[in-house]
Structure 1
Amino acid sequence: MTEPAHLAAVRVSYDTVAADYLRLVVPPEGMDPVSRAMIAAFAELVRESGGGEVADLGCGPGRITAYLHNLGLSAFGVDVSGEMIALARRAYPELRFTVGSMGALEVADGSLGGILAWYSVHHTPADQLPALFGEFARVLAPGGHLLLGGHVGEGERRPTAAYGHPVSYTSYLVPVGRLVELLEQAGFTVTTTLEQPIAQRDDRSHACLLARRS
């Protein structure tokens, strides 16, 4: 099967920036308190619901996967970038990391207790989000939990460089209200939404959405 153009751009770009991404992006312990609190709340909800495996989709170099593990979850990571997965495997050999697409998971129906997608969904074109969220719903057990985190807003952004390297991916910004609608259409109940402005003169916001598989 031919790799979709947007996915190929993400794979090539993150293969290119992997080492400097690891050097430049703050680890989970250095995140803002609200983001850490949302991840902690997600972990507690999964544990209270009986646990089960948790997929960190778009896991990058695996630091958030390991963070979830330290919060008591049975977490594994998936990323389209082979270079990112190689970094994750070297740093956390005790955890499982797989090269793959979050839109076509090699996971059985209803087998996961949770999904975390942290700054990864925004690389999916808006018209493909219904299929992506449908895949999330397929692999989550009834009552399983989903945490989305990332930028929201309007329009598309096509940076030419990031983390000191040329990149070719696109960020597709969607309003938080539209994300809620799409998740509900896919079979989720959105329980919490949190939106924070990033900075003055930046029309994006950071958003976290907690949802439960209906």
Structure 2
Amino acid sequence: MTEPAYLAAVRASYDTVAEDYVRRVVTPDAMDPVSRGMLAAFAELVRADGLGSVADVGCGPGRVTAYLAGLGVTAFGIDLSARMIELARRAHPAVDYAVGSMTGLPLRDAGLGGLLAWYSTHHTPPGQLPLVFAEFRRSLAPGGRLLLGGHAGEAAHLRPTQGYGHPVTYESYLIPADRQAELLAGAGFAVTARVEQPAEGRPGRSYVCLLARAV
């Protein structure tokens, strides 16, 4: 099967920017308190459920995966970029990382207790999100937890040419938080908590966390 062009662009772009991404993006300890609180709540719920491990899908250099492991859950990371996975393994040798795509996760059905997608779905064309969310649901045990964190805003298709100091070919998409919640519901999730924060200096944009349970 031919790989969609957007996946090739995302892979190539993040392979290119990986080292500078690590230098420029804040560590979990330096995140805002609300984001850290959502990650902590997610970890606590997964621990209490006892349904299995957590996949951090689109894990990048693995920092958030390792942060979850530090919160007491068995976590592993998956990312499209082989260079990001290389950096993750080097920085966090006690955590497992693998190359893979969220459009076809290398995971068995209903095997996860939790799945984190932290700022990793905004490069997915909106028409492909139902496929991605269905793949998340397939991988989660009934009652398993999903934490989706990312960008939200009025529908927009962004085509940056530079990212983290390098030329990039990925594209990004903004969709409203309500629409993201609707798509999760359509994939078999019940949204149990939602937090939305304005993106300072970016009118019409926000950061949203959607906590959901597989039904």
Tell me which interval the TM-score lies in, with the shorter structure as reference length. over 0.9
Unmatched 5+ stretches in structure 2: none
Aligned partner letter, 2:31: M
Over residues 78-99 of structure 1, what are the superposed CA-to-partner deviations in whole Å (9 max), with x where a residue is unaligned?
0000000000011111211011
Rounded to whole Å, the distance in 1 between the matches of 2:131 and 2:205 is: 24
Rounded to whole Å, the distance in 2 between the matches of 1:22 and 1:175 is: 28
Rounded to whole Å, the distance in 2 between the matches of 1:169 and 1:201 is: 20
Alignment coverage as a number of residue pairs: 214
Contact 2:14 2:84 in 1 (8 A): yes
Over residues 163-184 of structure 1, what are the superposed CA-to-partner deviations in whole Å (9 max), with x where a residue is unaligned?
1101111111111101111111
Find out whether 1:159 has 2:153 as its counterpart: no
CA drift of 1:200 comes to 3.7
When normalised by structure 1's length, the TM-score is 0.98
Aligned to 2:32: 32
Contact 2:51 2:141 in 1 (8 A): no
Unmatched 5+ stretches in structure 1: none
Aligned to 2:143: 143
**Compared CA separation, residues 200 and 19, structure 1 to 2 (3 A):** closer
> Mean Cα displacement is larger for which, 47-56 or 141-150?
47-56
Over residues 96-123 of structure 1, what are the superposed CA-to-partner deviations in whole Å (9 max), with x where a residue is unaligned?
1011101101111000000000010111
Q: Secondary structure at the match of 1:89?
A: helix
Aligned to 2:20: 20
Contact 2:162 2:168 in 1 (8 A): yes
Q: Please, what is the CA RMSD of the aligned residues?
A: 0.9
Rounded to whole Å, the distance in 1 between the matches of 2:199 and 2:59 is: 22
CA drift of 1:51 comes to 4.5
Rounded to whole Å, the distance in 1 between the matches of 2:77 and 2:147 is: 14
The aligned runs of 1:98-109 (5 Å cut-off) are 98-109=98-109
Percent sequence identity over aligned pairs: 64
CA drift of 1:201 comes to 4.5
Q: Secondary structure at the match of 1:45?
A: helix
The aligned runs of 1:31-50 (5 Å cut-off) are 31-50=31-50
Aligned partner letter, 1:76: F
Contact 1:51 1:73 in 2 (8 A): no
**Compared CA separation, residues 165 and 48, structure 1 to 2 (3 A):** same
Rounded to whole Å, the distance in 1 between the matches of 2:165 and 2:201 is: 24
Aligned to 2:54: 54
Rounded to whole Å, the distance in 1 between the matches of 2:201 and 2:88 is: 34
Q: Secondary structure at the match of 1:102?
A: coil
CA drift of 1:162 comes to 1.0
Q: Secondary structure at the match of 1:69?
A: helix
Runs of at least 4 residues off by over 6 Å: none
